[in-house]
Amino acid sequence: MTLQGPKMLTSVPGPKAKALLEEKKAYTSDCITIGAPTIVERGEGALMEDVDGNVFLDFVGGIGVLNIGYSNPEVVKAVQDQAAKFFHTAYNVVLYKGYIDLCEKIAEILPGPSKKKVMLINAGTEAIENAVKIARLATGKSGVICFEGAFHGRTYMALSLTSKVKYKHGLGPFMPGVTRIPYPYCYRCPYGLKQESCNLHCAERLNDMFKVLIDPDDTAAMVIECLQGEGGFIPAPEGYLKRVHEILKEHNILLIVDEIQSGFCRTGKWFCHEHYGIEPDIVTMAKSLAGGMPLSAVAAKADIFDKMYAGSVGGTYAGNPLSCAAALKVIEIFERDDYPAKSRHIGEVCRARFEAWQKEFPERIGDVRGLGGMIGIEFVKDSKTKEPDGAAVAAIKNEALQNGLILLDAGVNGNIIRILVPLCISDEHLATGLDIMEAAVKKVLK
């Protein structure tokens, strides 16, 4: 596949895509929303070709699913080989080696001294559901602490933990026992403090909350993204997770770390929580785990996991053999080709460009932040008021799309551009994508 950008063959959507989008309108509800108004034909690495022959650079990677890239030939072969043997048995009827091998591999790559046990399911949201079940059975308590800005999925427990009203409006009532607290968003500190002098007030505040807001004796777990994804690409400050975990341990409350978007090399390490020197009690993962095949996993310290009883977890398609085959190959390639290093390199290249734009537009680019290749830019109308500028991001996204680059926003106000580019991208393609993005940023911010 050859990159044409920054010029497309046709404007986007082209005639074939336009016709298909009309058909979509007739047969699916408008609630099935789409980000980029086109229709894919095939993908390769970080490139995507649409039905009109336009070739795009994809900086979104299926929302963090394609760290391995589109159509990696080794992964394709692994799935084809498995498909030729069997598609499905239901693991709880007849188990297969791929399920066992993958659980073993995930337990092995998770850092920390404790022995881990692993279960496989299908989607990120299902991993969250099961993580909460595990925490409840292990602690004998029910309450869950979550965060403002969080995104954990769309099934009812996960949706109850998710923060964005846009995804929840009219869908209540939600699960009882959920308490939402402010996320440590240093650019917009919920306590109005400065990071240099705050002494991690946000972490210490948890002790006060246990007196006025949350009964720790009723609380099973806290669920956190170490680097909030949908919420705006916000890394927790250094030291926060360590201190919070200490406080939680004093109350027998488990720490569930949601690595669904941030895991599998995205942040320059296998898992984002490695940046914080903690060993979570439970970890949820999905997305780039199987490179686009539907698969998610929950890992927990063995003594915690072993509190589950037969029948308390399951699912017909859980740990599908094709998905397991894909995941085993994806992990093998990540290890062999050092994908964490690729992510760090992408992060450095992007950060240098983004910080240069910030210097040029100090009033409009409020913050550049992230870890490794999970990096975002926050756009504001004015650097003093920090009023979010979602309109600028929408305009940048559209301008980039018309020139062959797919971008995605984040944050409740849609004013952050998040980079989730496939980690296999070449330097040349990365530079081309950043050139397209730079032209769009300059055109919109002027």
Ligand X SMILES: Cc1ncc(COP(=O)(O)O)c(C=O)c1O
Number of H helices, E strands in the chain: 13, 17
267 binds ligand X (CB under 6 A): no
260 binds ligand X (CB under 6 A): yes
Which of 117, 152, 269, 429 is close enough to bind ligand X by CB under 6 A? 152
Geometric angle at alpha carbon 267, from 370 and 373, rounded to 5°:
65
129 binds ligand X (CB under 6 A): no
411 binds ligand X (CB under 6 A): no
Which residue is closest to ligand X by CB?
Answer: 124
Please tell me the count of residues contacting ligand X according to CB under 6 A.
Answer: 15
Record the tokens describing residue 391, joined without a space: 């309109």
Which of 8, 68, 120, 123 is close enough to bind ligand X by CB under 6 A? 123
139 binds ligand X (CB under 6 A): no
In the complex, the smallest distance separating the C-beta of residue 17 from ligand X, rounded to whole angstroms, is 24
In the complex, the smallest distance separating the C-beta of residue 343 from ligand X, rounded to whole angstroms, is 17
User: Nearest-CA neighbor of 56 among 308, 422, 443, 385?
Assistant: 422
- Give the start-end residues of each E strand in 296-380: 296-301, 365-371, 374-379
Site for ligand X in 1-30 (CB under 6 A): none
**Contact residues for 309 (Cβ-Cβ < 8 A; gap 6+):** 137
409 binds ligand X (CB under 6 A): no
CB contact at 8 A, 167 and 180: no
* Residues pairing with 181 in the sheet: 147
Pick the stretch among 92-100, 122-130, 185-193, 358-366 that binds ligand X (CB under 6 A).
Answer: 122-130
Which of 63, 109, 439, 445 is close enough to bind ligand X by CB under 6 A? 63
In the complex, the smallest distance separating the C-beta of residue 229 from ligand X, rounded to whole angstroms, is 4
Please report, as a single letter, which amino acid is at residue 178.
V
Q: Is 23 exposed, middle or buried (0-12, 13-18, 19+ CB in 10 A)?
A: exposed
151 binds ligand X (CB under 6 A): yes
329 binds ligand X (CB under 6 A): no
Pick the stretch among 11-19, 146-154, 330-338, 408-416 that binds ligand X (CB under 6 A).
Answer: 146-154
286 binds ligand X (CB under 6 A): yes
CA distances from residue 338 to 215, 331, 343 in whole angstroms, order as listed: 44, 10, 9
145 binds ligand X (CB under 6 A): no
User: Nearest-CA neighbor of 349 among 435, 235, 444?
Assistant: 435
Question: Which stretches of the chain bind ligand X, using CB under 6 A?
Answer: 63, 123-125, 128, 151-153, 225, 229-230, 258, 260-261, 286
